[in-house]
Amino acid sequence: MIVKGKHYRTIWLSKDGWSVNIINQVALPHKFIIEKLKTLKDAAEAISQMKVRGAPLIGVTAAYGICLALRKETSDTSISSAAEVLLRTRPTAVNLQWAVAKMLAFIKKIPESNHEERIRVAYSSASKICEKDVIACRKIGKYGLKLIRSIYRTNNKDTINILTHCNAGWLAAVDYGTALAPIYAAHEDGLPVHVWVDETRPRNQGASLTAWELGQQGIPHTVIVDNAGGHLMQKGEVDLCITGTDRTTSNGDVCNKIGTYLKALAAKDTNTPFYVALPGSTIDWSMKNGIKQVPIEERNSEEVTHIEGYTKDGSFSKVRLTPKKSFAANPAFDITPAKLVTALITDRGVCEAKRSSLRSLYKR
């Protein structure tokens, strides 16, 4: 997508052909910083520190992390060790496990003694995973555009208002994104789109990342506090909701950023369509019950008790919000049951959030 008139992806190979460039998303929206990953440790820390985030991008970064690990040692033992390092970084996003498993399968087909070929295959495989993500997100945009266009024509309003939660745009993928891909497609198609952007506490990824993305693309948007969504739906000011997902179970339960479940409940009560956008790599076919089976990442409580930002003099500062003796819980995700999801917007098409529909779509 576009940043200050120039096209970027969130991750790409450097000119040297082996190191990996990323956009440091922790610095956004105030600074646009490109960082270089040179080691497995760099890749793992980029994921755990959320310099890169979003299920699809985490997966691609992990794939390149395996490549970087191979530059040091190419044995099966070292590859498996590298995989374990990456898998420990963030437990909820299934794309991470998917990408690592794909990489190991490709690499281990090559004899351990053929070091150079293993490295070549690794980089080739990571590149393919990267490109497939871009293609999948484009398709999500195409299928989602049809829904947005239909709702716009049915409602017959001057503007179509879409609410989204957290960040599931191009910053969460390699390009285009998932939840924002249909919005970008609608904007390019000339539809008068306006986006309600949940701030998404505690890391404020809506206020900092989604708002920044939309602004760069020239799409009208308004940042709102997390608890305003239900009010706007009651007032008829939300025509549809679109969120992303970090893991969707085979029965259609959706694991996404904390607060998604409450938006889905409000949407159900107000008859507001609630869509979830995802590529096939985000479906966990091994799970049938999101509430019982999906591991929920518990992040550092300091993300809740403190907040970061820039002061008037331009310095970066972290300040405490809560009393020093108050405890804080910080679950990063919640589960939205399939029954609250109007439909899933996938790279294969739009389907109901249920096992039979997903299996039919993906020929499982």
Q: Which residues are catalytic?
A: 246
Q: Where are the alpha helices (DSSP H) in the chain?
A: 40-48, 55-70, 76-87, 94-107, 115-155, 181-188, 205, 211-217, 229-234, 260-269, 290-293, 302-305, 355-362
- The two three-digit tokens of residue 71, written as one number: 């530059």
| CA atoms of 74 and 218, how far apart (whole Å) | 46
- The total of other beta-carbon atoms located within 10 Å of residue 138's CB is 15
What amino acid is encoded at 268 in this protein? K
Instruction: Name every residue whose Cβ is closer than 8 Å to that of residue 154 and which is 6 or more positions away in sequence.
Output: none
Q: How many CB atoms lie within 10 A of CB 289?
A: 13
Lookup result for tokens 């986006």: 195
Is omega for the bond preceding 220 within 30 degrees of 0, making it cis?
Answer: no
331 to each of 25, 196, 358, how far by Cα in Å?
Answer: 20, 23, 28
User: Exposed/middle/buried for 6, CB within 10 Å: 0-12, 13-18, 19+?
Assistant: exposed
